[in-house]
Amino acid sequence: MQEITATMPLLDIHPEVQKALQNNQPVVALESTIISHGMPYPQNVETALMVEQIVRSEGAIPATIAIIAGQLKVGLTEAEITLIGKAGSEVIKTSRRDLPFVIKRKQHGATTVAATMIIAQRAGIRIFATGGIGGVHRGADKSMDISADLQELAHTDVNVVCAGVKSILDLPMTLEYLETFGVPVIGFQTSEFPAFYSRKSGLSLPYRCESAAEVAAVLNTKQQLRLKGGSVIANPIPKADEMEYQFINEAIDRAIEEALSKKITGKAITPFLLNRIKEITKGKSLEANIKLVCNNAKIAAQIARHWS
C-alpha cells in the first residue's frame, strides 16, 4: 500500500509574536469569530484593536488568530482585522471540523474557541482570552447540540479566560460536561460560575483563585503533572458593567423562543441569538459584551505575564 503523508500547513506567525515566543515572553491568543460574527462593524474592529492594546498595556503580546486566504495566521495586522470585521458573516465561522476545508479552498476563516485553541497550541501559546466559551445548548437532550469547544478543552493544552459560558446555553449541563472530561474550572475571585452578562448564575465552583499569580501557579503545576487538556478561568464581568439578572434572562428567553419558531440551528444559532438579544436590550448587551471581553484580556495578560 502506498504510504500517505500529510503535513499541517505552516503557521504564519507575526514576527512580533514569534520573537516573544522565542524569548519566553507572555503572549495571549485572541479569537476572530467574535470580530466577524459576534459584533457589528465598526464596533467589532474597534473592540479587537482595543483588546490588543489592553493586552499590551498589561505587559503581554496579543496574537489574534484567523485564517486569511487559507493561511493560518497567528497575530493579525490591523488591515487583516479590518478585513475580517468588514466581511462579517461572509467569513467562514471555523471550528475544528472546518479547518481542512477552509485551508484547502484558500478561504477567509474566523476561528471559534476550538479552532483558536488548536492553532494557539501549535504556535506554543498557552493563554487565550475570549468573551465566553460555547457549551451545551438548551434542549441538547433532544438536539445533541453541544459545542466543539468543550471537547477541545478536554484535549488541547490551552487555558481560556472567559466570562463563563454564554448565558444563552444550559449552564448546569455545561459544567457537568466539563467535570466529566476533567476540565478544571477556576473562579477568578469568585466562587460562583459567571453567566456572561451577569456575575451570578447560582452555580457554585469548587475552586477559586484570588490573583493572576495564583492562577499561573496552578496552571504551571497542571503542566508539570502533564495533565492533558486546557482549563477554564471564569472571570466575571465587572460589577459596574453587568446587566440586571432578570432583564437579561427575559431577553434571552425571548430570543431563544424566536430562534425555535424560525428553526434556526447549528452555526447560525449563536450569531442570531446575540444579535436578537442586542436588539431587545437596545444595545446594552453589546456594551456589556465589549466590557467583559476587555476585562478578560486584562486578566489573561496578567496570568501570562506571571507564568512566563
- What's residue 272's pLDDT? 87
- Cβ-Cβ contacts under 8 Å for 143 (sequence gap 6 or more): 137, 265
Task: Provide the terminal-to-terminal Cα distance of the chain, rounded to the nearest Å.
Answer: 46
Q: Are 174 and 145 in contact (CB under 8 A)?
A: no
Q: What's the rounded Cα separation, in Å, for the pair 104 and 106?
A: 5
Instruction: Report the predicted TM-score, pTM, of the whole model to 2 decimal places.
Output: 0.92
* Cα dihedral 144, 146, 148, 153 sign: negative
Distance set, CA 66 to CA 108, 109, 119, 308 (Å): 8, 6, 9, 24
- What's residue 5's pLDDT? 41
Q: What's the rounded Cα separation, in Å, for the pair 210 and 256?
A: 35
- What's residue 268's pLDDT? 78
Q: Residue ranges of the domains in the chain?
A: 12-307
Q: What's the rounded Cα separation, in Å, for the pair 49 and 40?
A: 14
Distance set, CA 46 to CA 35, 41, 233, 296, 306 (Å): 9, 8, 25, 16, 28
Q: Are 124 and 21 in contact (CB under 8 A)?
A: yes
Neighbours of 71 (CB within 10 A): 15
Range 12-307 has CATH code 3.50.50.60:
no
- What's residue 141's pLDDT? 80
Beta strands per DSSP E along the chain: 12-13, 27-30, 61-68, 71-74, 92-94, 109-111, 127-129, 159-162, 185-188, 207-209, 232-234
Q: What's the rounded Cα separation, in Å, for the pair 169 and 259?
A: 13
Which of 31, 52, 58, 152 is catalytic? The answer is: 31
* Cα dihedral 93, 94, 95, 100 sign: positive
- What's residue 139's pLDDT? 82
Residue 94: beta bridge partners?
111
Which of 166, 278, 291, 298 is catalytic? The answer is: 166
All residue ranges of the chain with pLDDT < 70 are: 1-9
**Pairing assessment for the beta strands 92-94 and 27-30 based on DSSP bridges:** unpaired
- Asked if 31 is an active-site residue, the reply is yes
Q: What's the rounded Cα separation, in Å, for the pair 279 and 256?
A: 13
- What's residue 109's pLDDT? 98
- What's residue 144's pLDDT? 87
Q: Residue type at 155?
A: H
- Asked if 166 is an active-site residue, the reply is yes
- What's residue 4's pLDDT? 40
- What's residue 137's pLDDT? 85
